Every structure is written in structure tokens, then in C-alpha cells.
Homo-oligomer: A and B are copies of this chain.
Amino acid sequence: MLVVRTIADLREALRPARREEASIGFVPTMGALHHGHEALMERARTECDVVVLSIFVNPTQFNDPTDLERYPRTEEADVAIAEKNGVDFVFMPSAEEMYRPGSTIEVRLDGPLVDSLEGAHRGSDHFHGVTTVVTKLFNIVQPEVAYFGQKDAQQALVIRALVRELDMPVRIDVVQTVREDDGLAMSSRNIHVKGRDRERALGLKAALDEAQSAYDGGERDAAALTERAVAAMKPFEVVPEYLAIVDRVTLQPVETVEPGALVVIAAPVGPVRLIDNTVIKDTAQLTRSA
């Protein structure tokens, strides 16, 4: 496994693979790697000839300077995890390598996909930062497939739209959320969730579970279902920043809940802000297939 820190070095390192028409799988991350990231690496390792992992805490997508400063950096551990998972190249550029002085480039989508939910609460500049850095990374790595986690459901939709609207020759693969044994969705920010907050963090999953079981119980009204989900967080002393039931493609709120609807949630827990989501499953089908 090779660790490279400059764009030129990565291009050079990937040259033989490109010459041999090897398929390149790409896992872009902000580091602090966990089992969720490992699932992406595993998928890439299975599907592609060459696996590139990038670790770059992209300053332009942070609305909150404290969040950026506090974002965990675990470089040595990350490299070990990448190696264990069969990554071929780890790309770890500095902020100066990615954004030269005076750089003004911005790749942006507009509209509900970037303005709603995370966009509404973190500001739509968050997703402009994401789409800009992902475009740059895709141009640098030129992967055949890039892997993203379903935990960041809105981000995955934004990236899909980006690739479609810019006609990028990249396939986007979205991999299921990986959870701790107790249900907490894996996140780099979990490292800051300690003690009592660690128990409180289960409030997010409790809300998602409640949404599904309310649906299983026959509830189809989005407002009522939302109310029940919010109520389920109360014992955890967690109040959501938002909890919404939306179309899983457009992210527009739905009034009547059908299978495939996306339940999304963001909530502050102790010093961090966590997000999670689930897709409502068809109870009848579950029962039939059981």
C-alpha cells in the first residue's frame, strides 16, 4: 500500500493501473475511519482492481469552525485500517495541496436537494463545499466507481445529482449504514460521544425504529408518524434538530407514508451533532418473506 500526499504523486502512482485499463474504485473519506468506512473499502476491494482511499478533512464543507477544529484526525490508525482492508493507495493531501492560494472554484447544485434538511440546518454552502471537493477528487483519481455511505443519505443523493448533471464518467455506489451492536450508526464524530451522551445517542435509532413500528402498526400519516418518532427520543433526552419523512429521491416531505419513504433525523448529542436515517420497509412483504 502506498501513501501519497500530492496530486502529482497520485496521478503518477495510478498511471500503470490506467494503462492496464484496471478498474479503479474510490472511497473518499474525511478519515477517522470506522467500520462504516471499512464496508466501503470491502465493497471496492470486491468490485475493483485498484482501490484508492482519500483522507481529507475538507474545510470548505464545514459551516461550524469548532466542528472543523474538533473533527477527529487519526492518521496512523487510518493508514493501518486502510492497509488491513486491502486499499492500494491512500491519498492524504494537505488543505494547501487541494486549494491553492486564491482558488475561487465552486461547483454547486441549487434547489431543494441542497437547500433542505442538512442544507437548511448547516447552510447550503455545506453541500457546495462537498460537490466542489468531490469533483476535484474525481478528476484527480478518475475512478470507475466511487463509494459513499447511506448514513449520509442526502450527501449520496447530492453526489448522484452532481455526477448526472456534470456528465461525470463515474458510477456512484451507496453502501448500507453500519451500526454498533446497540444500533448507533457508525460516525467519525461518535468518538466525542461519551458516558451518558453515549446512551442518549441511541435516541436517534429509537426514533427511526419507532417510525417503522408505527408504520407496521398501520400508521400512514406522516405528521402522526413523525410525532411518534419524536416522542420516542424523549426518554433519551434528545430533541431533534429535524426529523422528517421525505421522498427518498427528491427529499421533499411526504404526507402519506409509503414503503421506500426516507426517515431522516439530525440531533445534537453532547458536544456533537449526529445524523441518521432509515428507509421505511413494507411490513406485509417482510411478513410474507419471513
Contacts and interface: CB of A to CB of B under 8 A. Distances in A.
A285 interface: no
A103 B140 contact: no
A140 to B, nearest CB: 5
Contact of A110 (B7, B100, B106, B135): B106
A107 interface: yes
A9 to B, nearest CB: 13
Interface stretch (A53-61, A67-75, A161-169, A265-273): A161-169
Contacts of A110: 104, 106
B100 A105 contact: no
Contact of A108 (B11, B103, B105, B109): B105
A160 to B, nearest CB: 12
Given A105-B108, A107-B107, A108-B105, A100 B165 contact: yes
A166 B105 CA distance: 7
A11 B167 CA distance: 11
Given A19-B21, A105-B162, A139 B111 contact: no
Copies, count: 2
Interface string A95-136: 000001011111111110000000000000000000000011
Interface residues of A, number: 27
Contacts of A21: 19
A222 to B, nearest CB: 24
A142 interface: yes
Nearest to A139: B167
A98 to B, nearest CB: 9
Given A19-B21, A139-B167, A167-B140, A111 B107 contact: no
Contacts of A169: 11, 139, 142
Interface in A1-21: 7, 11, 19, 21
Interface of A: 7, 11, 19, 21, 100, 102-111, 135-136, 139-140, 142, 162, 164-169
